[in-house]
């Protein structure tokens, strides 16, 4: 579930559709005003804003503004209500409620020229919108002016004091060097309406806007879960997760078991402009998600809202946000202890060290550092929801005092749903949702730590201890072997140096003609900023194989050049091919000067172009496998042969020969250099 301050703006499309019949009947100024008033009282702020704008655009400028025509009433502090002033102030409120602070600022600025008795809080909200729009100096002037006149001890006085503290905090942030992380907005799809991205296996799941058809084929909009299968570079706008649902239901903010087969997520509805949310569960069975069921008590509690679930990586706790009784006020962070089947045992509040009288939402636990990350609007910060963190454990009162993550993770708007993707360094990489770049909705940002490691080292001969120059080295990610971080070459004295960003776990693979392949794994603690690291010296063993052994090996390679066969139209390796590829990999690593050509073939069905593409895919599959097994890519050449060279007939006596075609769907290799 999105934050209470953003749910209205995320569903603005639905509000737009709902307004269409009202517009048809609002043909004049008074009609627009009356319709807007009705929507405003029903908290339909987006719809009301559209009609207030229409009213202001069509009102008669020559009419004395002290003569109301839309309403005849008196309000405390106001003589007969001036429709123009009322429309301006209500319009500012509408935009403020849907977090369109640019437009809200414009109308609050006009409102501070009205009577202070009629609109006593106009200056307060004008200061809030100035702060949200990063006009900090003027915001400080306006909030100070408000405090000078406002002496009544109420929520607005407390809010103004908080705004003043927030502005001081923002000033501190602007004076320091914000070099902790870099944020980059993720692109693709409707990039202005996506949020709450989490990892599932090798992909990601996030919440976005989905268009559906209503009962009368009208366009409606709802929140739904979407999935991208690429965790390194997620594609926004990917297909939504097919979960059984009905009209009027919104789904969002999911979390998954370690095997990716059990999902907890937020499901919410809106009744009479009131959001009602519960945490639901679904299982992944036979490649489909089962019909969701409400998570059992005590995760959900009737009469209150539960939302934004987050499973800890060990599956022992489900964190979530709830406004149930027993909290500190507003939404609090709660923790449900879970059994081995991910069933809740008991729930407890994380206490008033974490929770405030405001709202605490979107919890996430970084397991290795035991750091809880969450968002709050009840603490001194930069405005709206800010990201905070605290170290501790799940025992009551077991948390240190939370700290504000500061800029650039936080902004003057809402910053929420932080998730780290680095097991060791919480701020090294991850995702966050923020409306800092939008007048409308939350958007997704990737988080990258500003870390740089200059890695240095030397190569020597293992036997003589002498330096080895011109060694070629490939640096790969230990956790993702297919990800090459860089390729380098040592100088003539055997020294090497390269630069890494945010990479604490890497492997160095070294190759030099006449020497065995050497590789070494590294696991480092990455610290903020720039650092220089010196690796221990790497030695390479020289090759000294008799010529007869090489000749014998080459003969065996020529006699057995078959690597494997493939299913019809497929480029996936079968199990029998693994042994052949492993054997070839061992030979190529033993003789680093050897170069082979991997050739892909197909059967005769299909066009020449189609079969060449398919053959190339089969070649690429084999080459990727060999590289994963430590073979230097320079030892491998690929060539798509297609259906050119069958080793068995596709047809016998004019009839299809499946057995022959199966033999033709193959990959072979031949030695180019030794």
| CATH class of the domain defined by 181-449 | mainly beta
CB of 644 closer than 8 Å to CB of 608: no
Residues 6+ apart with CB under 8 A from 422: 428, 429, 430, 449, 502, 504
User: What's the pLDDT at 253?
Assistant: 94
Does the structure show a pLDDT above 70 at 138? yes
Instruction: Outline which parts of the chain fall under CATH 2.60.40.10.
Output: 451-540
Question: Given this model, what pLDDT does residue 345 score?
Answer: 93
Domain range 451-540, CATH class = mainly beta
Question: Which residues have CB under 8 Å from 7's CB, separation 6+?
Answer: 1, 275
Residue 20's pLDDT is 42
Q: What is the pLDDT of residue 121?
A: 94
Q: At residue 592, does pLDDT exceed 70?
A: yes
Asked if 50 and 19 touch (Cβ cutoff 8 Å), the reply is yes
Stretch(es) of the chain classified as CATH 3.30.1330.60: 547-673
Is the pLDDT at 210 greater than 50? The verdict is yes
Q: Which fold has domain 547-673?
A: 60s Ribosomal Protein L30; Chain: A; (3.30.1330)
pLDDT (tens digit per residue) in 626-658: 999 899 999 999 999 999 888 888 888 888 888
> pTM of the full predicted structure?
0.70
**pLDDT surpasses 60 at 76:** no
Average pLDDT over residues 97-106: 91
DSSP class of residue 399 equals B
24 CA to centre of own chain: 41
Give the single-character DSSP code of 38: H
The pLDDT tens digits for 418-437 are 999 988 889 888 999 998 88
**pLDDT tens per residue, range 437-478:** 877 688 999 998 887 888 999 999 998 999 999 999 999 988
Residue 17: CB atoms within 10 Å: 14
Cα–Cα distances (Å) from 527 to 408, 430, 532, 647, in that order, read 18, 16, 11, 58
Rounded to an integer, the average pLDDT of 313-341 is: 94
Q: Report helix, strand or coil for 514.
A: coil
Using CA atoms, how far residue 672 sits from 513, 594, 596, in Å, is 16, 8, 5
What residues does CATH 1.25.40.10 cover in the chain? Answer: 7-175
Q: Is pLDDT above 90 for 66?
A: no
Of residues 547 and 186, which shows the higher confidence score? Answer: 186
Average pLDDT of every residue of the chain: 85
- Structure token pair of residue 590: 């033993």
pLDDT of 56: 92
Torsion of CA 277, 279, 285, 287, to 10 degrees: 50
Residues in the chain: 674
Alpha-carbon gap, residue 89 to 123, rounded angstroms:
11
Q: What is the structure's pLDDT at 527?
A: 57
Give the residue-averaged pLDDT of 134-142: 93
Quote the pLDDT of residue 202.
85
- Judge whether residue 485 has pLDDT over 70: yes
Which CATH number applies to 7-175? Answer: 1.25.40.10
Average pLDDT over every residue of 374-401: 88
Q: Is 312 a residue whose pLDDT tops 50?
A: yes
pLDDT digits 0-9 by tens, 21-64 = 444 454 566 788 999 999 999 888 989 999 999 999 987 544 54
């Amino acid at each position: 579930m999105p934050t209470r301050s953003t749910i209205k703006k995320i569903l603005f499309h639905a509000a737009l559709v709902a307004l269409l019949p009202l517009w048809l009947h609002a043909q004049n100024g008074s009609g627009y005003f009356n319709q807007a008033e009705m929507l405003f009282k029903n908290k339909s702020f987006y719809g009301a804003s559209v009609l207030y704008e229409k009213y202001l655009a069509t009102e008669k400028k020559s009419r004395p503004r002290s003569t109301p025509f839309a309403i005849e009433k008196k309000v405390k502090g106001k003589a007969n209500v001036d429709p123009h002033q009322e429309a301006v102030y209500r319009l500012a409120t509408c935009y403020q409620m849907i977090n369109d602070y640019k437009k809200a600022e414009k109308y609050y600025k006009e409102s501070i020229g009205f009577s202070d008795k009629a609109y006593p809080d106009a200056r307060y909200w004008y200061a809030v919108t100035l702060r949200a729009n990063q006009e900090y100096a003027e915001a400080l002037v306006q909030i100070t002016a408000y405090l000078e006149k406002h002496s009544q001890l109420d929520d607005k006085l407390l809010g103004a004091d908080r705004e003043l503290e927030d502005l001081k905090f923002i000033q501190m942030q602007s004076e320091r060097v914000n070099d902790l992380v870099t944020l980059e907005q993720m692109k693709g799809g409707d990039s202005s309406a996506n949020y709450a991205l989490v990892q599932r296996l090798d992909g990601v799941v996030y919440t976005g806007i989905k268009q559906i058809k209503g009962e009368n084929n009208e366009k409606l909009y709802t929140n739904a879960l979407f999935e991208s299968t690429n965790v390194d570079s997620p594609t926004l706008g990917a297909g939504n997760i097919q979960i059984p649902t009905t009209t009027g239901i919104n789904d969002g903010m999911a979390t998954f078991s370690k095997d990716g087969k059990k999902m907890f997520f937020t499901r919410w509805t809106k009744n009479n402009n009131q959001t009602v949310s519960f945490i639901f569960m679904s299982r992944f069975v036979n490649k489909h998600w089962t019909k969701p069921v409400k998570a059992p008590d005590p995760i959900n509690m009737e009469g209150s809202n539960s939302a934004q679930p987050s499973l800890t990586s060990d599956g022992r706790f489900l964190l979530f946000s709830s406004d149930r009784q027993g909290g500190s006020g507003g939404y609090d962070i709660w923790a449900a202890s879970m059994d081995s089947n991910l069933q809740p045992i008991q729930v407890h509040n994380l206490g008033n060290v974490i929770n405030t009288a405001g709202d605490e939402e979107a919890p996430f636990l970084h397991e290795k550092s035991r750091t809880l990350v969450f968002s709050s609007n009840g603490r001194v910060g930069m405005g709206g929801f800010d990201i905070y963190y605290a170290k501790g454990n799940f025992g009551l009162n077991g948390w240190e005092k939370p700290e504000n993550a500061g800029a650039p993770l936080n902004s003057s708007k809402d910053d929420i749903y932080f998730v780290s993707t680095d097991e060791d360094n919480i701020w090294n990489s991850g995702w966050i949702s923020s409306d800092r770049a939008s007048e409308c909705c939350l958007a997704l940002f990737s988080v990258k730590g500003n870390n740089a490691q200059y890695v240095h080292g030397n190569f020597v001969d293992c036997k003589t201890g002498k330096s080895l120059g011109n060694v070629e080295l490939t640096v790969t990610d230990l956790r993702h072997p297919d990800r090459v971080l860089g390729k380098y070459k040592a100088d003539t004295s055997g020294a090497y140096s390269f630069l890494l960003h945010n990479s604490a776990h890497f492997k160095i693979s070294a190759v030099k003609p006449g020497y065995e392949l050497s590789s070494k794994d590294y696991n480092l603690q990455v610290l903020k900023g720039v650092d220089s690291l010196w690796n221990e010296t790497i030695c390479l063993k020289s090759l000294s194989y008799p010529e007869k052994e090489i000749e014998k090996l080459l003969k065996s390679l020529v006699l057995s050049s078959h690597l494997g066969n493939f299913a019809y139209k497929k480029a996936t390796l079968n199990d029998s091919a693994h042994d052949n590829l492993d054997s070839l990999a061992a030979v190529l690593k033993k003789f680093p000067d050897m170069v082979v050509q991997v050739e892909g073939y197909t059967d005769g069905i299909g066009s020449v172009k189609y079969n060449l593409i398919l053959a190339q895919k089969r070649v690429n599959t084999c080459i990727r496998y060999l590289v994963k097994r430590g073979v230097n890519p320079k030892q491998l050449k690929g060539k798509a042969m297609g259906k050119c060279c069958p080793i068995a007939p596709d047809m016998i006596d004019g009839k299809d020969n499946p057995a022959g075609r199966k033999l033709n769907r193959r990959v072979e290799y031949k030695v180019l250099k030794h």
